[in-house]
């Protein structure tokens, strides 16, 4: 039996659901699943418990040939959410803070992420990790769509006096406030990390160039007021 290493728990949860869906209604034992995913049986049991708490219809069949099985009649096929759509849903959940449906919305997001294709789920996690909100941001405005790309952007940017400069920037991350968004990027004109208010971006175009990876350091997010909080897809 081939083994697959899943370092990311979200990837493993998705793969567990897909494995059980593929063989349903036949069961898979915790020992069998542990061998496939190169984890302990106890880890499998914890993962199954987390999926059950999120509402995934997984049941335990007793007996020597028993194990965990999925009720296919109560599940959906893989959801073709894009990484941007998943992050947009996580941002939308912020509007439900303090309402009676916040927990249910979080559970729905976890189910959708677990049902995404492995590569898309990983890309969504990567994008979410680059989105930060000020602790008092509440519900920030919609993030400009094109800013979700990892490609080099050509932008026109107006300063406080309205003077526009043309720049090529490498997106690193995003910070949301109640009234507007900031793009954190490596500016090739200034040759350093700069922060751009998105409402001052007068034009924008994504190029075909994928820039080399650059880390988004904590000091790049050193905002003198408020607490910066990283967006999560955990709901």
Q: What is the CATH number of the domain that holds 54?
A: 1.10.10.10
Contact 188, 168 (CB under 8 A): yes
pLDDT for residue 222 is more than 80: no
pLDDT of amino acid 3: 45
The terminus-to-terminus CA distance of the chain in angstroms comes to 34
7-42 in b/e burial notation, b at 16+ Cβ within 10 A? eeebbbbbbbbebbbeebeebbbbebbbebbebeee
Residue 138 lies in a domain: no
Which residue in 152, 101, 99, 131 sits closest to 233, CA to CA? 131
pLDDT in tens, 89-114: 888 887 787 788 888 888 888 888 87
Average predicted confidence (pLDDT) for the chain? 81
Residue 172 lies in a domain: yes
Query: What span, in angstroms and rounded, lies between the C-alpha atoms of 203 and 215?
Result: 26
According to the per-residue pLDDT averaged within each range, which of 48-52, 73-77, 97-101 is highest? Answer: 48-52
Which residue has 């602790």 as its token pair? 135
Query: H or E element: which one contains 203?
Result: strand 201-206
pLDDT of amino acid 1: 42
Residue 40 belongs to domain spanning: 9-74
Are residues 126 and 198 both part of a single domain? no
Are residues 112 and 172 both part of a single domain? no
Are residues 126 and 151 both part of a single domain? no
Residues 6+ apart with CB under 8 A from 26: 69
Beta-ladder partners of 67? 61
What is the total count of domains within the chain?
3
pLDDT in tens, 123-180: 888 888 888 887 655 556 666 665 567 789 999 999 999 999 999 999 998 888 877 8
Query: Cβ atoms within 10 A of the Cβ of 205, count?
Result: 11
Query: What span, in angstroms and rounded, lies between the C-alpha atoms of 200 and 169?
Result: 15
Contact 185, 179 (CB under 8 A): no
pLDDT of amino acid 2: 43
The token pair at 113 is 């992420």
């Amino acid at each position: 039996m081939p083994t697959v290493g899943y370092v990311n728990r979200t990837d493993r949860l998705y793969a567990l659901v897909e494995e059980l869906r593929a063989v349903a209604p036949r069961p898979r034992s915790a020992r069998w699943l542990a061998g496939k995913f190169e984890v302990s049986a106890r880890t499998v049991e914890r993962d199954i418990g987390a999926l059950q708490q999120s509402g995934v219809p997984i049941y335990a069949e007793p007996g020597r040939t028993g194990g965990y099985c999925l009720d296919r009649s109560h599940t959906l096929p893989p959801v073709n959410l894009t990484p941007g759509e998943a992050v947009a849903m996580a941002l939308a959940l912020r509007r439900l803070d303090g309402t009676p449906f916040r927990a249910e919305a979080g559970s729905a997001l976890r189910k959708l992420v677990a049902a995404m294709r492995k590569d898309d789920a990983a890309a969504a996690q990567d994008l979410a990790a680059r989105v930060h909100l000020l602790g008092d941001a509440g519900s920030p405005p919609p993030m400009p769509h094109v800013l979700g790309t990892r490609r080099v952007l050509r932008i026109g940017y107006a300063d406080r006096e309205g003077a526009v400069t043309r720049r090529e920037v490498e997106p690193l991350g995003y910070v949301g406030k109640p009234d507007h968004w900031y793009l954190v990027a490596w500016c090739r004109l200034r040759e350093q990390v700069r922060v751009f208010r998105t409402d001052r971006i007068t034009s924008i175009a994504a190029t075909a160039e994928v820039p080399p990876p650059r880390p988004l350091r904590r000091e790049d997010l050193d905002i003198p007021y408020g607490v910066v909080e990283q967006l999560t897809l955990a709901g």
